[in-house]
């Protein structure tokens, strides 16, 4: 792209360095914002297999991920707590919803139970969440592809 001055035969070239720099910054920015499903995973949790498991239909508006370990504890926000100690974390999530002018019903609690976790512990987690007025739940399992 050349620009000529009136009465001058010199051609001025545009400097695209700043534009290229901005494009790379935008690419880096959007890569950070991408919602990777691996971010909600924990290496301690081995999901059970299921032929009925399928990917979610779309992104959840306000997901809260709880990991139930084989020992029966719950990993939430990087902390491992017993089911009875879950209440402060759920109250914190309620406060976050309130700050965003959302209702508790807008949140979906995603429960990722280890394949060796007792079913009763998963039920206890759901009951504790229901005591704190959470209504929507999603259970995660590993999809098994049939032959």
What angle, rounded to 10 degrees, do the helices at 87-99 and 119-131 form? Answer: 50
Question: Who wins on pLDDT, 34 or 102?
Answer: 102
Q: In sequence order, what DSSP letters do the residues of 97-123 get, joined into one string?
A: HHHTT--GGGEEEEEEE-TTS-HHHHH
Average pLDDT over residues 111-136: 87
pLDDT at 48: 58
In DSSP terms, 79 is beta-bridged to 76
pLDDT in tens, 63-100: 888 888 888 889 888 888 999 899 999 999 999 888 98
pLDDT in tens, 15-52: 888 888 999 999 888 877 765 544 456 566 655 555 55
pLDDT at 88: 92
- Please state the domain extents for the chain: 2-33, 38-143
The whole-angstrom separation of Cα 59 and Cα 110 is: 12
Distances (CA, A) of 48 to 3, 9, 32, 41, 93: 65, 74, 30, 14, 27
pTM over 0.95: no
């Amino acid at each position: 792209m050349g620009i000529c001055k009136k009465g001058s035969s010199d051609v001025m070239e545009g400097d695209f360095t700043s534009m290229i720099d901005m494009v790379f910054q935008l690419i880096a920015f959007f890569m950070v914002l991408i919602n990777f499903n691996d971010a909600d995973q924990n290496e301690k949790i081995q999901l059970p297999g299921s032929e009925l498991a399928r990917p979610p239909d779309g992104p959840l508006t306000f997901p809260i991920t709880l990991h139930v370990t084989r020992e029966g504890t719950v990993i939430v926000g990087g902390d491992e707590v017993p089911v009875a100690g879950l209440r402060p974390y759920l109250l914190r999530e309620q406060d976050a919803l309130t700050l965003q002018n959302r209702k508790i019903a807008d949140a979906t609690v995603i429960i990722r139970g280890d394949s060796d976790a007792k079913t009763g512990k998963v039920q206890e987690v759901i009951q504790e969440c229901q005591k704190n007025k959470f209504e929507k739940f999603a259970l995660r399992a590993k999809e098994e592809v049939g032959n």
